[in-house]
Chain A
Amino acid sequence: MGEEERSVNQSYLPSEFSVVREDDRCIRCEACVNQCPFDVHEYDAEEDEVKADESKCVSCHRCVTICPTDALTIKENELDFRENAHWSEESIKNIYKQAESGGALLSGMGNDKSMKDYFNHIVLNASQVTNPSIDPLREPMELRTHIGEKPEKLEIEKEGGERKLKTEIPPQLELDIPVMFAAMSFGSISYNAHMSIVKAAKKAGTFYNTGEGGLHEDLYEYGDNTIVQVASGRFGVHKEYLDAGKAVEIKIGQGAKPGIGGHLPGEKVSEEISETRMIPEGTDALSPAPHHDIYSIEDLRQLIYALKEATEYEKPVGVKIAAVHNSAPIATGIVRAGADYVVIDGIRGGTGAAPTAIRDNVGIPTPLATAVVDQRLREEGIRNEASLVVSGGIRSSADSIKAIALGADSVYIGTAALVALGCRLCQQCHTGKCPWGIATQDPNLTKRLNPKVGEKRISNLLRAWKLEFEEMLGGLGVNAIESLRGNREQLRGVGLNEVDLDTLGIKPAGEAW
């Protein structure tokens, strides 16, 4: 059947949202009209009225934010479906969508389904009486973290009267805050979004990841804060690219879509994207599901060492996988294959475009994956051989610190950074019409994200998290983030069953040390 034969005249899908306009407050400035990329608002000059086509509204809140008189509210459409415990409104609507398009459902952003939120079931400890807490406003607090292989022991030699480090330290990434920006490709997000993120990373002394879309020529100067990614599509990978960053990361999988490759719809492949990715303009950039030269840990080792050779063993090489059932044994394989750090991306991880069925149903939660991978690496005595970076649904400093106490060296944030830039999780990234200028390449929309403002917003977020990290660490009586890593005694589970507690390696709340 061709596209024409599949199309239907009448959609059975009701509008998802209602646009409520207080006419008393509307001054007909038409800011909503010119800001909506989905053409919801329209000014009717004959009636001197601003009208809305609610069927197109995605609740991105651009109009609500820009409206100078607060005349607008977006509400969920109140239309009730007949109550049915099995057939939810969403499952019915999804069937309409598929019956009307014949296509696999696509989504942007991460899994939005209700699922046990382990971060919310974990609480931190604090010092009381017997062990003093530390006041971070008066005493130094160390948030510096190093990503890379650590030697098993340090040998010191005496030279003259001076002691010198004899052991050669493998290449490390030095982070002033244990938060990095996750791989979001140039293509999935805009030039201005990349620019905002990289400038904030530089200011905060941390790193951002190029994602698999190559590196725009303007961003080479930020190489000292860049991790370059090599994914299955190998888009934009060449010698200068590998040389540009401080680390190289092989992407095997991502939490939003384990088992399948990156997916950049042709709508977003603009001239600049085409140049950076080295692909024709307007074509879909579909990365292969596997790397076609990696079918085993041994193959992975070859690529790791090929990249180490190419970069003269001066940069850590990491491997990113999605959190899946076998993550722990796979992670040990990755470490034994020579990776300097492992990234585990959980089921809440974001994306610019993924089949909804996969996004919402494949993978395991980040906290569980973090705990089992850290545990397994310790049991095998190779935890020092690689750092562990975790990602997928990290929303706050508290999520980050819990992930670190579960065993991570650092976290990656993606969605959180985009939210700082204005993202409302409207999940339209795959349409290329991001109303906030983030996940789009349309010049009418990308200009909405001024990197000057974007950098400020993300830097502010990191600054706020830094203050919170220090307060939480101080409360624990710990003065360095590295002392908290894998320190699960500082965590307790609330409302978790025995299996969950055992998997997380934490005690239930109420149980003392």
Chain B
Amino acid sequence: MVKRIYIDEDYCVSCGLCQVYCRTEHSEYDDIIKAHKKEDSEPVSGIFKEEEEPSSFAVQCRHCEEAPCIDACITGAMHRDPETGSVVRDEDKCVGCWSCLMVCPLGVVKRDEDEKSVAMKCNLCPDKDTPVCVANCPNEVLELR
């Protein structure tokens, strides 16, 4: 089964560090400060903090079994990774038509205007053992399972 990130929202402290680390991971820099200060356009996160005190939680792509973004994609950029089953985007194929943005029921696909306009969403950090949001959550409320 495809892995997803789950949150224990009872203990989400609303610090927003998941977003900071996500933005950094998806920027061209490894360094948090450089990612946020040097990148030409504002770095985009694939995880979003929602808050209504005292509740808060972070939401990101659920890698839907029947993914509307894949169906809506006009170029085949948005596709299912045959190995992991997660929904991922091929940057080279993406033309920035935003069809995926419009159909995503959770609103977790965003525009990334860096160099080329492309759709940006959680890709579960394929280069890392653990997605950066999970690895850096100070209260250990995010889990990949």
User: Which residue of A66, A447, A450 is within 8 Å of B17 (Cβ)?
Assistant: A66
- Asked if B109 is at the interface (CB within 8 A of a chain A CB), the reply is no
Partner of A30, one of B10, B12, B16: B16
Q: What's the minimum C-beta distance from A422 to chain B, rounded to whole angstroms?
A: 10
A51 at the interface (CB under 8 A from B): no
Knowing A448-B139, A450-B140 are in contact, say whether A69-B13 is a contact too (CB < 8 A): no
Given the complex, which residues of A lie within 8 Å of B21, measured CB to CB? 68
Least CB distance from A65 to B in Å reads 8
C-alpha spacing A402/B19, complex, angstroms:
48
Query: B139 touching A453 by the CB < 8 A rule?
Result: yes
Known: A443-B54, A450-B139, A453-B140. A27 touches B17 (CB 8 A): no
> Residue of A at shortest CB range from B8?
A450
Question: Is B13 a contact partner of A448 (Cβ separation < 8 A)?
Answer: yes
Chain B nearest CB, measured from A63 CB (Å)? 10
Where the two chains meet, the residues of B that have a C-beta atom closer than 8 Å to any C-beta of A are: 8, 10-17, 19-21, 32-33, 36-37, 53-54, 136, 138-141
Name the one of B20, B32, B54 contacting A447, with C-beta atoms under 8 angstroms.
Answer: B54
15 cross-chain CB contacts under 8 A: A27-B20, A27-B36, A28-B36, A29-B16, A29-B20, A34-B14, A34-B16, A68-B17, A68-B21, A68-B136, A442-B54, A443-B54, A447-B54, A448-B139, A449-B11
Query: Which residue of B8, B15, B139, B140 is within 8 Å of A31 (Cβ)?
Result: B15
Q: Which residues of A are interface residues toward B (Cβ below 8 A)? A: 24-25, 27-31, 34-35, 65-66, 68-69, 192, 442-444, 447-450, 452-453
> Would you give the shortest CB distance from A433 to chain B, in whole angstroms?
14
Whether the Cβ atoms of A29 and B54 lie closer than 8 Å is: no
Shortest distance between the CB of B38 and any CB in chain A (Å): 11
- Across the interface, do A68 and B54 meet the contact criterion of CB distance under 8 Å? no
Query: Taking the nearest CB of chain B, how far is it from the CB of A475, in angstroms?
Result: 37
Contact status B16-A31, CB under 8 Å: yes
A448 to B19 Cα, complex, angstroms: 18
Docked complex Cα distance between A65 and B15 (Å): 11
Are A447 and B10 in touch, CB under 8 angstroms? yes
Closest residue of B by beta carbon distance from A446? B54
From A68, A192, A442, B32 is in contact (CB under 8 Å) with A68
Instruction: Give min CB distance, A61 to chain B, whole Å.
Output: 13
- Note all chain A residues with C-beta closer than 8 A to B54: 442-444, 447
Contact A452–B140 (Cβ < 8 Å): yes
Contacts of A443 in B (CB 8 A): 54
Bound form: Cα–Cα A16–B8 in Å = 37
Is A69 within 8 A of B33, CB to CB? yes
A271 to chain B, nearest CB (A): 13
Chain B residues with CB below 8 A from A448, complex form: 11, 13, 139
**A31/B141 in contact, CB under 8 A:** no
A69: chain B residues at CB < 8 Å are 32-33
Query: Can you name the residue of chain A whose Cβ is closest to the Cβ of B136?
Result: A68
Known: A69-B32, A447-B13, A447-B54. 4 other contacts (CB 8 A): A27-B20, A444-B54, A447-B10, A452-B140
Could you say which residues of chain A place their CB within 8 Å of the CB of B138? Answer: 65-66
For A66, list chain B residues within 8 Å (CB). Answer: 15, 17, 138
Residues of A within 8 A of B37 (CB): 27
Q: Evaluate contact between B12 and A29: CB separation under 8 angstroms.
A: no
Could you say which of B11, B15, B16 contacts A450, with CB atoms under 8 Å apart?
B11
Which B residue's beta carbon lies closest to that of A34? Answer: B14
Residue of A nearest to B21 (CB): A68
Q: Which residue of A lies closest to B49 (CB)?
A: A34
4 nearest interchain CB pairs? A27-B36, A443-B54, A450-B11, A444-B54
Known A-B contacts A450-B141, A452-B140, A453-B140; A31 and B11 likewise in contact (beta carbons under 8 Å): no
Contact at A31–B20, with CB atoms within 8 Å? yes
Whether B10 lies near A34 (C-beta < 8 A) is no
CB closest residue in chain A, given B36: A27
Judge whether A27 and B32 touch: CB under 8 Å: yes
Given A447-B10, A448-B139, A27 contacting B33 (CB threshold 8 A): yes
Q: B24 — nearest CB in chain A belongs to which residue?
A: A68
A25 surroundings in chain B (CB, below 8 A):
33
- State the CA gap A447–B37 with chains docked (Å): 31
- Quick one: closest A residue to B139, CB to CB? A450
A68 with B140: CB separation less than 8 A: no
Most chain B CB atoms below 10 A, which of A442, A444, A447 = A447
